[in-house]
Structure 1
């Protein structure tokens, strides 16, 4: 689809004023990011950008950067590359996160066209890696978007996810000669449609199983416990999502357990840790479990590799017998409904 409108003379401008594109509204979806490839240098570039973000690792650069550059980035690209190779979309030569984000964007574009015609242009960017936030902001401005709705694809707010995505968006706007009006989308962790979409994915997965799992583990990406104590609302929002999901399913206490994964570094992170909790469940007699990752809008290395391999292995080594991973909502129709509703709600006043 060609969404490049022809340049138009500005109203009331002199005849010799350069024609410009304007009058469009952009929706920019932002996901975490992905390496361009699985080789050492591609992984190193990606990890360097990610782990140098002060929102993600807030230690003093004088301490952190020598450790990162001389130790971590010497070894970690090899292990991370191996993890990505195990899930890589070889046909498209890209990570699953990239494939899914493209599909989400295409389906949301279709929905926005049905709702707003050609007035809205939808695109996506990555906080780390490509396509960069700045490149897509510039592309939307060049297509005539003088209003941009920025949508970090994180149901829950965290400084290390939503906030750093917004930071990068605003840094990009700082460089614009004609800066568009801008809005950011608030977290939607308690949105009824989101909770319903999660519940339906659980119901569908359970309906395909011969035996009902003893426990549903809701595994959220972790952050240091210190962030919670410093005012980050992420932990509370995750707990509320789990509670609302339990209520929507009509389940009893104990049928859903909230855990946190992907711990990094020496300090204490939010607990219980998923990898330890699934082993404890197995040892306590819960031999059949299912795991869902509500904080992820798209399946990625943390779900496809960490949950479906490392965490599954921890459960089975502790005596677990049946492990079911319930995929992220991805480009499922119910998820596209949620995201489209959130977008439409946030465009009110601009497009009514």
Structure 2
């Protein structure tokens, strides 16, 4: 029987407060995050991580002194593996890797090798492709496998911004909250919030914003609610440079002053972590209520939702039927303006 290793991966996060600074250094020392030559990038990463550590520690102190992203991802891995066991044509084992903290690519690969798979499938927990996320991880993976001379046929899934199960899981959660809150649609403002990236990256051809737009359009189409008042916005910006707009906090302020019920839908996060549990649930809730919002509702991430996981299993099985290499089984080709799309 074919033995397939499925590696699901995400950003990672500190597992204790003492890990915050080295985690931040790893993040900012990534050449796809700080796009500077290596010596300058190293110095800047040291300065930024040192400066941001006290603020970041306060954030993690509010959620137990660490990021929950590893535990959340391990739960997703467990549920996905159970879903894949229904396929009698192959034996699947699901592994977890993180980009900026443990388990790093090298740690994950060691476990994968012990499984002795016939092939590997890399599945991003980023529905929308970006050079700052998926491409960054794939470079780290390729670099590590070359260094260790590992030559196992590998398929890498690019993205799945409009994957049916992902879209329907999100739209169902929105519809459920609308019904539960009994809010009048005329008083509701829906914010589809995604993690921002510098505007320059998009100008240079990163397809991320295009993918986020596709995700939001698909959710709105599935909701099929006439005259829905919604907007796509971007959160978690860092530093003085311009990031993708509109900024989520700015949109919240505007809606709150109109006394709207604000519903925030995280469309680029598939698990809970500091950006949802602190930034959205605490900081932005306080911002909304203090400035006059009638109510503030945050839609949960898709997490281990059965339909979402079933959708991931479909993508994995489709990728297993493709030739090794990068595949867009969960997505579709990008517009030619997105020159950083690896499939163009």
Q: TM-score, normalised by structure 2?
A: 0.88
| Equivalent residue, structure 2, for 1:288 | 261
- Would the aligned equivalents of 2:192 and 2:233 in 1 still touch at CA under 8 Å? yes
Matched, 1:179 2:151: yes
- Would the aligned equivalents of 1:23 and 1:144 in 2 still touch at CA under 8 Å? no
CA-CA distance at 1:38 after TM superposition: 1.7
| Equivalent residue, structure 2, for 1:33 | 12
Match of 1:259 among 226, 230, 233: 233
Q: Over residues 16-50 of structure 1, what are the superposed CA-to-partner deviations in whole Å (9 max), with x where a residue is unaligned?
A: xxxxxx952111111110112123xx111111111
CA-CA distance at 1:152 after TM superposition: 1.2
| Equivalent residue, structure 1, for 2:43 | 66
RMSD (CA atoms): 2.0
Residues in 1 aligned to 2:39 and 2:291: alpha-carbon distance in whole angstroms: 41
| Equivalent residue, structure 1, for 2:28 | 51
Larger radius of gyration: 1
- Would the aligned equivalents of 1:289 and 1:323 in 2 still touch at CA under 8 Å? yes
Poorly superposed stretches of 4+, deviation over 6 Å: none
Residues in 2 aligned to 1:349 and 1:282: alpha-carbon distance in whole angstroms: 48
Residues in 2 aligned to 1:214 and 1:164: alpha-carbon distance in whole angstroms: 37
Match of 1:331 among 304, 307, 310: 304
Q: Over residues 110-157 of structure 1, what are the superposed CA-to-partner deviations in whole Å (9 max), with x where a residue is unaligned?
A: 111221476221111111111111211222122211311011110000
Match of 2:51 among 71, 75, 100: 75
Residues in 1 aligned to 2:244 and 2:224: alpha-carbon distance in whole angstroms: 27
Greater RCO between the two (CA within 8 Å, min separation 6)? 2
- Would the aligned equivalents of 2:4 and 2:90 in 1 still touch at CA under 8 Å? no
Structure 2 residue runs without a partner (length 5+): 324-344
| 1:289-304 alignment, distance < 5 Å | 289-304=262-277
| Equivalent residue, structure 2, for 1:242 | 216
Structure 1 residue runs without a partner (length 5+): 1-21
| Equivalent residue, structure 2, for 1:347 | 320
CA-CA distance at 1:258 after TM superposition: 0.4
Residues in 2 aligned to 1:253 and 1:47: alpha-carbon distance in whole angstroms: 42
